Amino acid sequence: MCRVGVGMGGTVSFLAAAVLFAGCSTPPTAKKRALTELSGLRQRSASSISRQEYWNIEETVARAESHLARGERKRAEVLFDLAAGKAKLLSERLELAQAEKDEPQPSSRDAVSKQTADWDDQLPPPAMDSVSPLPPPAPASPAMAPPTEHLHPQSAPAPVEPAEPQPGEMRSVERGEPAEATETARPRSSVIIGKRFSYTVGKGESLRYIGAKFGVSWRRLAQLNRIDPQKPLRAGQVLRVDTRRIVPRQIDDGIVINIPDRTLYYFRNGEVDRVLSVAVGKPKPVNDPEKRDWHTPTGNFRIIGKVKDPTWRVPPSIRKEMKERGKEVKTIVPPGKKNPLGKYALKTSIPGILIHSTNAPESVYSFSSHGCIRVFPEFMEDFFNSVTEETTGEIIYEPVKMTVAEGQVFLEVHRDIYNRYENLDEQVKSIAQEQHVEERIDWNKVQQVLKRMNGVPERVSF
């Protein structure tokens, strides 16, 4: 629950460049033009687009969104106009290149084919990758707990509480086999992490609290355990929990945050060091389209500051929302139990976006923030101490994840909460083609997974 002020480097150069592309439009008009141009780019073949140019445009839009959310309309207008101009110029260049390519040129066809095979064959809306695939998977790091056998819910011995995952600890790591011909596939996960286990309910704990702690939907918990979510849990009650998930990116060191699965992945030395459930930005209300959204922006970032016991300086946009809802309008919230930032905050290079603790732990693993990344309080201190300034990261948006493990294809699907895809079916087909596994997939199983959207890896191969 935050938007905070962070200085924007390079403002003067952006202002100067924007003059070449834009007149004086209002931010909503400039935003619409930028998103329209960007949408046109996304519909093009990725093999014809420079990933750096595309990501640069996405980053500019994300920065504009952040400034607009804070009520800084002039800065937002400049950046939206700049993004629209860049996207338009890139589109025109691509059209010209396509026209030249359509002319019969036998001598250059092979060279063009080789060039387009050198990188990804699909644009991942909305931000391009900036990481490289890992080398073939190494054995599990000694620092991680050894894999343990999955405890099947129906065969679990009664009411004996097994060891539960410690904060940030990953059990049961499955290494997947690399897809064939991976030289044209963009880096995707070959790792399934997490496990099925039983959890004994503590005093005063709710489905929302347990779901937030382990990164599982409270509705899924109720369904898995066949309990009425309206009834309170009993202390000592044993619940089945499934925390398995596909890691969406593999990097050497740093942070990956995937918005649809509300999860932060922290890497060290090429291994997943810890996984944290998070809360991310609110979508636009379905029943009130006039209200604005609070989307978490995508793109690359780095940690530029660490603050213990932070003070929250409430931005104008949130003060306006407080007033509209009839709440007490606050300008500054000092450290303490009433501070939505909790005890620890990491400043990112994305304007207005923090990774922070919270005074509302049940809100974690939801789409409820004003754009920031909320971490479960119990786990934030250790994570805060592990991360150093200049740690790099990326926020991505991937509701569909797929991997191959032990010869089987697994699919994990989450809601397209920001409505960035017209059809998730097509996204599954596209990823399957990237990984060269479409012929190994039972598409009837795929349809069932898409219908359920359980958010856990499910086998879809024959």
**434 and 346, same structural domain?**
no
**409 and 317, same structural domain?**
no
**379 and 290, same structural domain?**
yes
Whether the predicted model's global pTM rises above the 0.85 cut: no
Structure tokens at 185: 């596939």
**72 and 37, same structural domain?**
yes
By the 10 Å C-beta count (0-12 exposed, 13-18 middle, 19+ buried), 62 is classed as: buried
For residue range 81-134, what is the model confidence (pLDDT) as tens digits?
888 888 777 776 776 666 555 444 433 333 323 322 222 222 233 332 323 232
Cα–Cα distance measured from residue 376 to residue 373, given in angstroms and rounded to the nearest whole number: 10
**450 and 360, same structural domain?**
no
Does the residue 165 lie in any domain?
no
Does the residue 193 lie in any domain?
no
**Strand 299-308 vs strand 400-405: parallel, antiparallel, or unpaired?**
unpaired
Rounded mean pLDDT, 175-192: 43
Does the residue 315 lie in any domain?
yes
Map residue 299 onto helix, strand or coil.
strand
Whole-Å CA distances, 255 to 45, 155, 363, 370, 391: 28, 36, 21, 20, 8
Residues with Cβ < 8 Å from 393, sequence gap 6 or more? 254, 255, 256, 257, 300, 301, 302, 303, 348
Does the residue 292 lie in any domain?
yes
Does the residue 188 lie in any domain?
no
Does the residue 130 lie in any domain?
no
User: Which member of 356, 370, 414, 436 is catalytic?
Assistant: 356
**263 and 358, same structural domain?**
yes
Cα–Cα distance measured from residue 333 to residue 331, given in angstroms and rounded to the nearest whole number: 7
For residue range 271-300, what is the model confidence (pLDDT) as tens digits?
999 999 999 999 988 777 777 889 999 999
**375 and 263, same structural domain?**
yes
**425 and 372, same structural domain?**
no
* pLDDT over 70 at 336, yes or no: yes
Q: Which of 90, 116, 142 is the last residue of a domain?
A: 116
**28 and 95, same structural domain?**
yes
**440 and 345, same structural domain?**
no
**441 and 390, same structural domain?**
no
Clarify whether 414 is annotated catalytic. Answer: no
Q: Which of 381, 398, 415 is the last residue of a domain?
A: 398
Clarify whether 356 is annotated catalytic. Answer: yes
**Strand 373-375 vs strand 354-356: parallel, antiparallel, or unpaired?**
parallel
Whether 278 contacts 342, CB under 8 Å:
no
Q: Which of 398, 414, 434 is the last residue of a domain?
A: 398
Does the residue 310 lie in any domain?
yes
Whole-Å CA distances, 396 to 211, 256, 318, 376, 448: 22, 7, 24, 20, 25
Does the residue 131 lie in any domain?
no
Q: How many C-alpha atoms does 313 have within 13 Å on its Cβ side?
A: 6
**393 and 288, same structural domain?**
yes
Please give the pLDDT value at position 88.
Answer: 79
Alpha-carbon dihedral 261, 178, 125, 259, rounded to 10 degrees: 10
Alpha-carbon dihedral 251, 51, 25, 417, rounded to 10 degrees: -50
Q: CATH number, domain at 347? A: 2.40.440.10
Angle value at C-alpha 394, between 390 and 395, nearest 5 degrees: 135
For residue range 232-253, what is the model confidence (pLDDT) as tens digits?
999 999 999 999 999 999 999 9
User: Which member of 2, 67, 295, 372 is catalytic?
Assistant: 372
Which band of pLDDT confidence, cut at 50, 70 and 90, is reported for residue 76? confident
Structure tokens at 309: 């016991």
Cα–Cα distance measured from residue 26 to residue 36, given in angstroms and rounded to the nearest whole number: 16
Residue numbers of the domain that contains 414: 400-459
Structural domains counted in the chain: 3
Of 219, 214, 216, the closest CA to residue 275 belongs to: 214
Map residue 175 onto helix, strand or coil.
strand
